[in-house]
Chains A and B, each alone.
Chain A
Amino acid sequence: MDDELAISVRGLRKAYGDNVAVAGVDLDVRRGEVFALLGPNGAGKTTTVEILEGYRRRDAGEVTVLGADPAHPDAGWRSRVGIVLQGTGEFDELTVAEVIRHFSGFYPDADDPDKVIERVGLAGKAKARTHTLSGGQKRRLDVALGIIGRPELLFLDEPTTGFDPEARREFWELIRDLAAAGTTIVLTTHYLDEAESLADRVGVIAGGRLVEVAAPNRLGNRQEALATVSWRTPDGTPESAQSATPTALVAELAARYGGEVPGLTVTRPTLEDVYLTMIGHAR
């Protein structure tokens, strides 16, 4: 067992009847890393994550999470793992503060409930019954319950679904804070910008397989990909060329047009382009 690894997965498989949800996933997540699992609905993200969280049993493969097999979670292991599930388990009749305080009692080294409420931006709602919260606020409560035990490893399953852009930015700050304090974070998301701005590495999962694992800016060899240079000819016709040496091409164009090149753009594939190509191939 490697102490540097928070999560180690080899040959993970899980099927529901004839439907193979996870078809042989290998995955390592280092301690202190922010790892994003990206993939379309039904790709096997949630199944994979719920096996790592100790909720689901696997059919085959070796899985180690914080040095233990999550198929047999004990209280000590549970207290080191924080979980933010996709579906929210609601406590309609209780207030935000009551729920968070109650859950803090389950952990040996819990954080201060008031501090956590503040941290997730629910200070103004501490005394509100949870059923009066908006969707985004309920999600913040979920996050609060995920981090109240000061976990070493935090799972977040589509954490910012239902957030407005401002709330999403605030949430990203919170994740960066936690990561800076040494928390290992595994999140699944649909949002490419979220993966790109938070994750040290991104794993793209499609059809139950991990298609690629790389730093966001290296995914699909994005850095080495040909750049597309586009411009307009003097009569206004759009023109474009793919080039491994776009700077040289731009210099050449500048010389040809004697200065400004009309409508000039230089682009490389975005994360979204790369991602869509990948999950397209996997289908």
Chain B
Amino acid sequence: MTTTTKPATPVTATRGRRPGAGALALRQGRLEITQFLRSRESVVFTMGFPIIMILIFASIFGGTIGGGVKFTQYFITGMIATGLMTVSFQNLGIWIPIERDRGVLKRYRGTPMPKWVWFAGKVIMVVAIGIAETVLLLAVAVALFDLDLPGTAGKWFTFGWVAVLGVTACTLCGIAISSLARTARSGSAVVTPVALVLQFISGVFFVFTDLPTWMQQVAALFPLKWMCQGLRAVFLPESFGAQEPGGSFELGRVALVLAVWCVLGLVLCLTTFRWTTKRDG
């Protein structure tokens, strides 16, 4: 056998066809969305859960919370916040360990794909699914339970930034917590209890101020409580701010706490993220 080098002849070469950085990220996002939508468990669990919950809650608590404001107006905030947390924090915290365990991440690392493109793909998926889910949730609540949508541009603006900051914090925390799971299966065991406890103590299933004070204080350390509170400023009348623990909706503090979690999540991602499992070196 010969060992002389014969240059590969690029007969059907398609040089310079590689997409630019932005296009690479969009392709990655589209791939992630396709994978998500084709996985029935993801769609039912992530998209369906908040909608089922609003159906149940709005049917049980058909009355008003005072001042002629429907209960739905209160619970929709918790459901939107939960939905955003599910699609970002839980979705990533459960799926990334599976992909890491299967060697999907290792395979990506063996290609010239820039690392950030993979993260961008996840973010695009979270944002797209998050928007679709929130729209669906609002549509169901408006159609079946006479939800009043925010009436001013200012409230929509608040809705926007609370959602963006909340999703960003939860996405970063989801990526960070994915490194705690040692195997594909343990992702859900790590993430689900955290999410469930947060939902209970953050005023998703109960009126927040009905919870014991110490529980409110614990919840105030985590993002979900502040996402719910920010959304209450959007869906409840201004006067309801007085009933909040702080005497108002405290939008400044909402922004501050969520921003701190974004920074914390980012630092955790940068310091702990692993492309391979521990046994994989």
User: Which residues of A are in contact with B by a Cβ distance under 8 Å?
Assistant: 4, 16, 30-34, 47, 50, 53-57, 75-76, 78-79, 81, 83, 85, 87-94, 98, 102-103, 105-112, 115, 145, 149-150, 152, 180-183, 200
Contact = CB atoms under 8 A, between A and B. Distances in A.
B5 interface: yes
B112 interface: yes
Contacts, number: 117
Interface string B33-48: 0110011000000000
B103 A85 contact: yes
B106 A55 contact: yes
A108 B15 contact: yes
A56 B14 CA distance: 32
Given A32-B5, A182-B5, A55 B105 contact: no
B221 interface: no
Interface residue SS majority, chain A: loop
Interface residues of B, number: 41
Given A30-B3, A83-B110, A85-B103, A56 B281 contact: yes
A251 B104 CA distance: 62
Contacts of B107: 85, 89, 145
Contact of A85 (B2, B8, B110, B114): B110
A106 B27 CA distance: 10
B112 A75 contact: yes
B9 interface: yes
Contacts of B35: 91, 93-94
Q: Which of B18, B35, B108 has the most CB of A within 10 A?
A: B18
A89 B10 contact: no
Nearest to B23: A105
Given A31-B5, A75-B112, A180-B6, A110 B18 contact: yes
B19 interface: yes
B1 interface: yes
Nearest to B17: A110
B140 interface: no
B153 interface: no
Interface of B: 1-10, 12-19, 24, 27, 31, 34-35, 38-39, 99, 102-114, 276, 281
B106 A89 contact: yes
Contact of B6 (A79, A98, A182): A182
A75 B109 CA distance: 10
B102 A89 contact: yes
B24 A105 contact: yes
B18 A32 contact: no
Given A106-B18, A112-B12, A89 B112 contact: no
A107 B104 contact: no
Given A110-B17, A182-B8, A91 B38 contact: no
A78 B281 contact: no
Given A56-B281, A78-B112, A109 B34 contact: no
A83 B35 CA distance: 23
13 contacts: A4-B5, A32-B6, A54-B110, A75-B114, A76-B112, A78-B112, A85-B103, A85-B107, A89-B99, A93-B39, A102-B27, A181-B9, A200-B1
